[in-house]
Structure 1
Amino acid sequence: MATCAEILRSEFPEIDGQVFDYVTGVLHSGSADFESVDDLVEAVGELLQEVSGDSKDDAGIRAVCQRMYNTLRLAEPQSQGHNQVLLDAPIQLSKIAENYDCDMKLPGPLKREQSSTVNAKKLEKAEARLKAKQEKRSEKDTLKTSNPLILEEASASQAGSRKESRLESSGKNKSYDVRIENFDVSFGDRVLLAGADVNLAWGRRYGLVGRNGLGKTTLLKMLATRSLRVPAHISLLHVEQEVAGDDTLALQSVLESDSVREDLLRRERELSAQIAAGRAEGSEAAQLAEIYAKLEEIEADKAPARASVILAGLGFTPKMQQQPTREFSGGWRMRLALARALFASTFISDSPALQSQMCVPLLPSEPTNMLDVRAILWLENYLQTWPSTILVVSHNRNFLNAIATDIIHLHSQRLDGYRGDFETFIKSKQERLLNQQREYEAQQQYRQHIQVFIDRFRYNANRASQVQSKLKMLEKLPELKPVDKELEVVMKFPDGFEKFSPPVLQLDEVDFYYEPQHIIFSRLSVSADLESRICVVGENGAGKSTMLKLLLGDLAPVRGIRHAHRNLKIGYFSQHHVEQLDLNVSAVELLARKFPGRPEEEYRHQLGRYGVSGELAMRPVASLSGGQKSRVAFAQMTMPCPNFYILDEPTNHLDMETIEALGRALNSFRGGVILVSHDERFIRLVCRELWVCEAGGVTRVEGGFDQYRALLQEQFRREGFL
Structure 2
Amino acid sequence: MGTCSEYIKNIFPSIDDDLKKYVEGVLENSADEFEDSEEIYDAIGAVLHEVSSDKTEEDIKSVCDDLLKMLRPDKDAKSNGGSLKILDGPIHLGSMAENQENNVEEIKSIWVQARDDSLKVDAKKLEKAQAKLQEKQEKRGKEIRVVAPPKLQTATASQVINKKESKLEAKGNNRAQDIRIENFDVAYGDRVLLQGADLTLAFGRRYGLVGRNGLGKSTMLNMISSGNLKIPSHISILHVEQEVIGDDTLAIDSVLECDTVRQNLLEKEKEISKAINEGSTDPDLNTQLSEVYAQLQNIEADKAPAKASIILAGLGFTTQMQQNPTKTFSGGWRMRLALARALFSRPDLLLLDEPTNMLDIKAIIWLENYLQNWPNTLLVVSHDRNFLDTVPTDILHLHSQRIESYRGNYEQFEKTKTEKLKNQQREYEAQLQQRQHVQEFIDRFRFNANRAALVQSKIKMLEKMPELKPIAKETEVVLRLPETEPLSPPILQLSEVTFRYNKDKVIFSDVNIGATMESRICIVGDNGAGKTTLLKIIMGILSPSAGTRHVHRNLKFGYFSQHHVDQLDMNVNSVELLQQQYPGKPIEEYRRQLGSFGVSGDLALQTVSSLSGGQKSRVAFASMCMGRPNFLVLDEPTNHLDIETIEALGKAINKYTGGVILVSHDERLIRMVTTELWHCSNGTVKSIEGGFDEYRKIVEQELEAVQAK
TM-score (norm 1): 0.77
SS of equivalent to 1:515: coil
Q: Structure 1 residue 716: deviation in Å?
A: 2.1
CA distance in 2, matches of 1:547, 1:297: 51
Task: Give the secondary structure class of the aligned counterpart of 2:195.
Answer: strand
Check conservation: 1:412, 1:484, Cα contact below 8 A: no
- Cα-to-partner distance string for 1:546-590 (whole Å, 9 max, x where unaligned): 000011111111111121111110000013122221111000000
**Cα deviation digits, residues 638-670 of structure 1 (max 9, x gap):** 001111010101011100110011011111110
1:367 maps onto 2:355 in alignment: yes
Deviations 1:463-510 (A, max 9, x none): 3332332232223222322212000000111122222222x1122111
Q: Which amino acid aligns with 1:390?
A: L
Q: Is the 8 A contact 2:313 2:706 kept in 1?
A: no
- How far 1:365 sits from its partner (Å)? 0.3
CA distance 1:312–1:454, change in 2 (3 Å): same
Contact 1:197 1:415 in 2 (8 A): yes
Match of 1:617 among 601, 604, 608: 604
- In 2 relative to 1, CA 217–287 (structure 1 residues): closer, same or farther, beyond 3 Å? same
- Aligned ranges 1:375-390 → 2 under 5 Å: 375-390=363-378
Equivalence for 1:693: 680
Task: Please report how far the alpha carbon of residue 147 of structure 1 lies from its aligned counterpart in structure 2 after TM superposition.
Answer: 6.3
Among residues 627, 644, 656, which one is paired with 2:631 in the alignment? 644
State the identity as a percent: 62
Q: Tell me how far 1:407 sits from its aligned partner.
A: 0.5
Quote the Cα distance in structure 2 between the aligned partners of 1:382 and 1:516.
39
Corresponding residue number in structure 2 for 1:275 = 276
| 1:325 corresponds to | 326
Larger mean Cα displacement after TM superposition, 147-156 or 399-408: 147-156
Cα offsets for 1:53-73 (capped at 9, x unmatched): xxxxxxxxxxxxxxxxxxxxx
Aligned position for 2:392: 404
Which runs of 4 or more aligned residues in structure 1 lie more than 6 Å from their structure 2 counterparts after TM superposition? 143-147
Mapping 1:241-640, distance limit 5 Å: 241-279=242-280, 281-345=282-346, 359-502=347-490, 504-640=491-627
Paired AA for residue 168 in structure 1: E
Q: Return the alpha-carbon distance in structure 2 between the equivalents of residues 170 and 146 of structure 1.
A: 52
Match of residue 179 from structure 1:
180
Deviates most, 587-596 or 558-567: 558-567
SS in 1 for 2:562: coil
CA distance in 1, matches of 2:440, 2:282: 93
Structure 2 counterpart SS, 1:716: helix
Q: Is the 8 A contact 1:409 1:415 kept in 2?
A: yes
CA distance in 2, matches of 1:237, 1:330: 19
Q: Is the 8 A contact 1:607 1:632 kept in 2?
A: yes
Residues of 1 paired with 2:391 and 2:284: CA distance?
A: 49
- Secondary structure, counterpart of 2:549 in structure 1: strand
Supply the AA of the counterpart residue of 2:522: C
> Which has the higher mean CA deviation after the structures are superposed, 568-577 or 586-595?
568-577
Aligned-partner Cα distance in 1 for 2:317–2:525: 14
| SS of residue matched to 1:525 | strand
Q: Deviations over 1:517-567 (max 9, x none)?
A: 111011222111111100000000000000000111111111111211111
Q: Which amino acid aligns with 1:456?
A: R
Distance 1:282 1:452, change over 3 A: farther
**Residue type matched to 1:170 in 2?**
K
User: In structure 2, what residue type is equivalent to 1:293?
Assistant: A
State the Cα distance separating 1:167 from its structure 2 match.
1.8
Task: Provide the C-alpha distance between the structure 2 equivalents of 1:335 and 1:440, rounded to a whole number of angstroms.
Answer: 48
Three-state SS of the structure 1 residue aligned to 2:275 is: helix
Matching residue's letter, 1:222? M
Establish whether residue 704 from structure 1 lines up as the match of residue 705 from structure 2: no
Match of 1:158 in 2: 159
Describe the superposition over 1:40-89 as per-residue Cα deviations: whole angstroms up to 9, x where unpaired.
xxxxxxxxxxxxxxxxxxxxxxxxxxxxxxxxxxxxxxxx9xxxxxxxxx
Tell me the CA shift for residue 268 of structure 1. Answer: 2.2
- Match of 2:228, SS state, is coil
When residues 462 and 379 of structure 1 are mapped into structure 2, their CA distance, relative to the original with a 3 A threshold, is same
Q: Tell me, in whole angstroms, the C-alpha distance in 1 between the residues paired with 2:493 and 2:146.
A: 46
Distance 1:458 1:272, change over 3 A: farther
Which of 673, 682, 689 matches 2:669? 682
Residues 285, 146 of structure 1: alpha-carbon distance in 2 compared, 3 angstrom cutoff: farther
Q: Deviations over 1:17-60 (max 9, x none)?
A: xxxxxxxxxxxxxxxxxxxxxxxxxxxxxxxxxxxxxxxxxxxx
Could you give the per-residue CA deviations for residues 329-372 of structure 1, whole angstroms, max 9, x where no partner exists? 11111100100000000xxxxxxxxxxxxx52211100001110
Residue 212 of structure 1 aligns to a residue whose secondary structure is coil
Aligned to 1:221: 222
Which residue identity is paired with 2:337?
Answer: L
* C-alpha distance in 2 between matches for 1:221 and 1:280: 52
Which residue of structure 1 aligns with residue 700 of structure 2? 713
User: In 1, distance between residues paired with 2:673 and 2:295?
Assistant: 54
* Separation (CA, whole Å) in 2 of partners of 1:659 and 1:548: 21
Question: For 2:311, what is the secondary structure of its paired residue?
Answer: helix
Q: TM-score, normalised by structure 2?
A: 0.78
Matches within 5 A, 1:110-259: 148-259=149-260
Distance change in 2, residues 1:596/1:721 (3 Å): farther
Distance 1:238 1:599 in 2: 45
**What is the letter of the counterpart of residue 153 of structure 1?**
T
Does the residue aligned with 2:473 lie in a helix, a strand or coil?
coil
CA deviation digits over 1:189-230, x for unaligned, max 9?
A: 111111111111111111111110111111111111121111
Give yes or no for contact 1:250–1:323 (8 Å, CA) kept in 2: yes
Letter in 1 for 2:559: Y
Q: Which has the greater radius of gyration? A: 1
Q: Which residue of 1 aligns with 2:128?
A: none
Q: How much does 1:160 deviate?
A: 1.6
Deviation, structure 1 residue 298: 1.0
**170 and 526 in structure 1: CA distance in 2 versus 1, 3 angstrom threshold:** same
Distance 1:581 1:265 in 2: 48
Question: Which structure ranks higher in relative contact order (CA pairs < 8 Å, sequence separation ≥ 6)?
Answer: 2
Residue 662 of structure 1, aligned match among 621, 638, 649: 649
Deviation per CA, 1:405-425, whole angstroms, max 9, x where unpaired?
Answer: 110001111101111111101
Aligned counterparts of 2:525 and 2:487: Cα–Cα separation in 1 = 31
Residue correspondences, number: 568
